[in-house]
Amino acid sequence: VADGSYGTENTENPGWEGVDRTIAHLDLDAFFFSVELRRRPELRGRPVIVAGSGPRAVVTTASYEARKHGVGSAMPAAKALRLCPDAIVVPPDGPEYRRASTEVMEILHHHVETVQQAGLDEAYIDLSGMAAPVAAMKRIVHDIETETTLHASVGMGPNRLIAKLASDADKPRGFLVLTRTQAQIRFAEAECGLIPGIGPKTQYRLTRLGIRTVAQLAATDPLALAEEFGLRTGPWLVNRARFIDDSPVEVDREAVSESRETTFDVDLTDTAELRRRLDLLSGELAAALKAHGHRGRTVGIKIRFSDFETHTRAKTLPTPVSAANDIATIAQELLNGFTLERPVRLIGVRVAGFNRSQHDAGQLTLPIG
DNA sequence: TCTGGGGTCCTTGAGCCA
DNA sequence: TCTGTGGCTCAAGGACCC
């Protein structure tokens, strides 16, 4: 088996020249902040962080002026304010961001058919077969700017991975087209963590194996890495570093789970209050499931204690549920399985297993006669 | 004064069954 | 009847992404 049959160099891409696949990745620059700027132009040029108001709020995005002070996404808002005491804090406005996102996605769909939205502020676009894909993307960026005042960075390449890296490499207002060979040269000495899918934990494990750069990872035997990361993930990591990625741009991705969770401002020790909050979340989740037409067979809870230790419990039912009392009943049962001796920081509830569509599920549960 | 919320995917191990 | 094996589902945890 160890004949090196995983992603060997004989699969060398001759180079992307518009003859194979052509994928673009479009990423809106400092999206939440830019949307805030549309209604509050006086914020332009100022250090701004978009963050919630609670004691445990984190930064969702920051203006480039705030980033100069070391402020970054996912940083506790309190820490961000210590780094940048003059920053203006703006509370996030989800509905407004969704509206702005829809405006942009409609422009994309006006120009091209195969668009995969990946979060509110980014999308993959399959331009394969198009005669002048670069000119098309430039038109799209121009239309987005004139119609929404929002700026975007674009990366293009023979696959999603290269397109994504290219759009990140030249922000803000970047436009970078890379062949696979150009990507290999450009990112050879970059740390492995640059590659989407390689986070801090994986990067640390790679470093321990003596693999620090993208080029080093690309030169690693996939089977050797399989011993450390498993038969799927090991070779996958090497392929990422070789910029091999045949994942398609998927237009209609269906959700597989939905959840609601909350972090308490102060850790909870009162079990009755914890149960009350779990019921509230179950109600919220049920309303969302109803709105989206989802039902699922697996109900799960998540609990995070004051020391950040996190546990989950789940139960799979014979029939799918979506009603608040059904979800709450199972959630409370699952909570019974915990000894609640430590203060609780977070509680969450989740419904998964949507794989059978509501239409099918409805047919299965129709009463006979 | 640490570390949000809402998702997806992967791995591992247990249990069941043929 | 016992043992091995492989497939499948489920549960739990981990990692990652925006």
> What tokens does A83 get?
């780094």
Question: Which helix (H) or strand (E) element contains residue A320?
Answer: strand A310-321
| Protein CA at A55 to nucleotide C1' at C9, angstroms | 42
Alpha-carbon distances, residue A290 vs A40, A271, A285, A323 (angstroms): 35, 29, 9, 8
Per the DSSP assignment, residues forming a β-bridge with A344 are: A268, A305
The answer to whether A116 touches A249, Cβ cutoff 8 Å, is: yes
CB neighbour list of residue A120: distance below 8 Å, 6 or more residues apart = A31, A97, A98, A101
A341 C-beta neighbours (distance < 10 Å), count: 7
Pure H helices in A209-311 = 214-218, 222-229, 233-241, 271-292
A155 C-beta neighbours (distance < 10 Å), count: 28
Q: What is the residue whose two structure tokens read 């996404």?
A: A73
Is the pLDDT reported for residue A368 higher than 50? no
| Protein CA at A120 to nucleotide C1' at C18, angstroms | 8
**Whole-number percent of chain A with pLDDT over 90:** 61
Phi/psi at A213 (5° precision)? -100, 165
Please give the pLDDT value at position A338: 86
Average pLDDT for A83-93: 92
Is the pLDDT reported for residue A358 higher than 90? no
A118 CA: nearest nucleotide by C1': C18
Question: Residue A54 has what DSSP assignment?
Answer: S
Average pLDDT for A300-319: 89
> Three-class SS of residue A304?
strand
A122 CA: nearest nucleotide by C1': C18
Strand C nucleotides in reach of protein CB atoms, 7 A cut-off: 9-18
Average pLDDT for A151-176: 94
Average pLDDT for A270-284: 92
pLDDT band, residue A362 (cuts 50/70/90): very low
A314 CA: nearest nucleotide by C1': C11
Cis peptide bond prior to A14, omega within 30° of 0: no
Average pLDDT for A286-290: 91
Please give the pLDDT value at position A256: 87
Please give the pLDDT value at position A201: 84
Is the pLDDT reported for residue A140 higher than 90? yes
Average pLDDT for A192-199: 91
At A2, which amino acid appears?
Answer: A
Average pLDDT for A291-310: 89
Identify which of A27, A24, A15, A251 has the alpha carbon closest to the alpha carbon of residue A159: A24
| Protein CA at A92 to nucleotide C1' at C11, angstroms | 35
Per-residue pLDDT tens over the stretch A2-20: 333 323 333 333 345 444 7
Please give the pLDDT value at position A174: 94
> What tokens does A147 get?
């119609």
Please give the pLDDT value at position A64: 87
At A164, which amino acid appears?
Answer: K
Please give the pLDDT value at position A54: 85
Please give the pLDDT value at position A24: 96
Out of A65, A122, A189, A191, the active site residue is A122
Q: What is the residue whose two structure tokens read 């509680």?
A: A347
pTM for the whole structure: 0.88
pLDDT band, residue A355 (cuts 50/70/90): low
| Protein CA at A116 to nucleotide C1' at B14, angstroms | 38
> What tokens does A27 get?
């990423």
A82 CA: nearest nucleotide by C1': B1
Taking all residues of chain A, what is their mean pLDDT, rounded to a whole number?
A: 86
The answer to whether A243 touches A217, Cβ cutoff 8 Å, is: no
Phi/psi at A264 (5° precision)? -75, 145
Average pLDDT for A46-70: 91
Average pLDDT for A109-134: 92
C-alpha A269 chain-centroid distance: 32
> Comparing A355 with A242, which gets the higher pLDDT?
A242
The answer to whether A165 touches A194, Cβ cutoff 8 Å, is: yes
Average pLDDT for A340-361: 74
The answer to whether A107 touches A149, Cβ cutoff 8 Å, is: no
Count Cβ neighbours within 10 Å for each residue of A187-221 and write b for 16 or more, e otherwise: beebbbbebeebeeebbebbeeeebbbbbbbbebe
pLDDT band, residue A90 (cuts 50/70/90): very high
Count of alpha carbons within 13 Å of A350, Cβ hemisphere only? 19
> What tokens does A288 get?
């969302």
Question: Residue A17 has what DSSP assignment?
Answer: S
> Comparing A255 with A263, which gets the higher pLDDT?
A263
Question: Residue A193 has what DSSP assignment?
Answer: G
Please give the pLDDT value at position A163: 95
Please give the pLDDT value at position A2: 30
Average pLDDT for A194-204: 89
Is the pLDDT reported for residue A199 higher than 90? no
Please give the pLDDT value at position A5: 31
**For residues A149 and A6, what is the distance between their CA atoms, to the nearest angstrom?**
46
Average pLDDT for A349-353: 91
A9 labelled catalytic: no
> Comparing A230 with A323, which gets the higher pLDDT?
A323
Q: Identify, with chain letter, the residue nearest to nucleotide B10 (CA–C1').
A: A233
Is the pLDDT reported for residue A144 higher than 90? yes
Alpha-carbon distances, residue A360 vs A115, A322, A326, A347, A352 (angstroms): 27, 15, 20, 32, 16
Is the pLDDT reported for residue A300 higher than 50? yes
